Structure 1
Amino acid sequence: MSKAKKPDQVVFDEEQQTYDAALKPYATNVGAPAIQVEDVTAWKKRNIHKANKQLKTKYLEIKAQYDAMLEELEYNNLVYSARFNFEPIVGETYHLYRDKKEQPFLSIIAPTDCNFDYIGSFELNSEQMWKKV
C-alpha cells in the first residue's frame, strides 16, 4: 500500500516524520508573500568587469616581471659565454665588447678609453648574476 501523501501546503519532513513549518527560514503559509528572486544581472556585469580588470592588471605585472627575468637571463648567458682571462670581482663593473670575429669579450677597459665594438656594461652581484648598468 502507498503512504498517504500530504497536501502541498503542509510542511512535513519525511525523514524525521515531523511538521517543521516553524523551523523554516522562509514563509510556508499559502497566504505568505511570494518569494521574489532579485535581478542581479547589473551587479554581475559590474563586478565581472572589475574582476577581469584586476586579473588582467595582475597578469600584466607578472608578464613584465617574466620579461625582465628573460632579459636578465639573456644578459647573463651573453656575459658568461664571453671570453675573459681574469676572475671577475663581485661589485665591480665590466664592459662587454665584440672583437673582429664578432665574438664577445669582457674587459675592464671603459668604452671611453677604447674604440672596440661596445655591447654594454655589466656589474657582477653577490649572487654571481650579471646586472646591466
Structure 2
Amino acid sequence: MAEEKKDQKHESFINPIDPDKITENPHSLPYAHTVGGAVIKPEDRGKIKGRAMAAMYEQTDMHLGQIREQIELLARQAKNIQHRVQISEEIYRAELNFEPIIAKVYYLYRRSNGKSVVSMVSPPEWGKNPPFQFIATVQLLSDHTWEVLEIVDDIYTPE
C-alpha cells in the first residue's frame, strides 16, 4: 500500500515548466539560461570586420611609410655617391700639379676658360681677388674618391 501511494505521488506530479522552454544542454544556448548567467549579446560581424580592416590598413600604411622613408634615404645615399663620382671625375680631369695625400683637404676651382684646377690653397688664402672660381672643398678618401665637404651649388655643374 505504501508503494501505491508513492506511485500515485509520482504520477500526480506535473512539471510547471513548459518542456519547449527547457533544454538538456544549456551550455549550447546562444543566451544565458539562468537569471545570474552572463549576458551574451550577438556581435555585429560587419562592425568587427570593419574594425579589423581599419586596424589592418593603419598598420600597413605605417609599414609602407617606413619603407617609403627607407627608399628616400637610399635614393639620397645613391645621389650622394653619384655626386662623389662626378666630383672625383672632374678632379681627375682637372689640372693637378701635385700628388694628393689621403685624408688631406683640397680645393676645387674653375678657371675662366672652363678647365678645373685642384689646389691646396683655400678661398680665404687667395685674398680679395682669387684667380679662379671656387667650386668645392674636397677630401681624398682611401678608395681614391673625393668626399665633398663644401660645395657652391649654384656654381657646380658637372662637365
Q: 2:133 aligns with which of 88, 109, 117?
A: 117
- Distance in 1 (CA, whole Å) between partners of 2:66 and 2:105 is 40
Partner of 1:55: 67
AA in 2 matched with 1:127:
D
- Distance in 1 (CA, whole Å) between partners of 2:125 and 2:53 is 69
AA in 1 matched with 2:57:
K
The Cα shift of 1:42 comes to 2.2
- Distance in 1 (CA, whole Å) between partners of 2:74 and 2:108 is 30
Please, which runs of 5 or more residues in structure 2 have no aligned partner?
1-27, 31-44, 150-159
- Distance in 2 (CA, whole Å) between partners of 1:42 and 1:117 is 58
Partner of 2:109: 97
The Cα shift of 1:113 comes to 2.6
Q: 1:42 aligns with which of 31, 54, 59?
A: 54
- Distance in 2 (CA, whole Å) between partners of 1:110 and 1:48 is 51
The alignment partner of 2:106 has SS state of strand
Structure number with higher helix proportion: 2
- Distance in 1 (CA, whole Å) between partners of 2:62 and 2:111 is 54
Q: CA RMSD in A?
A: 2.3
- Distance in 2 (CA, whole Å) between partners of 1:112 and 1:120 is 13
* Residues 26-50 of structure 1 deviation map (CA, whole Å, 9 limit, x = unaligned): xxxxx898xx896232232222212
The alignment partner of 1:121 has SS state of strand
Q: Would the alpha carbon gap of residues 67 and 46 (structure 1) be closer, same or farther in structure 2, given more than 3 Å must change?
A: same
AA in 2 matched with 1:125:
L
AA in 2 matched with 1:128:
H
Q: Would the alpha carbon gap of residues 85 and 44 (structure 1) be closer, same or farther in structure 2, given more than 3 Å must change?
A: same
The alignment partner of 1:87 has SS state of coil
TM-score (norm 2): 0.55
- Distance in 1 (CA, whole Å) between partners of 2:56 and 2:122 is 60
The Cα shift of 1:104 comes to 0.3
Please, which runs of 5 or more residues in structure 1 have no aligned partner?
1-30
- Distance in 2 (CA, whole Å) between partners of 1:110 and 1:118 is 9
**Which protein is bigger by CA-based radius of gyration?**
2
The alignment partner of 1:95 has SS state of strand
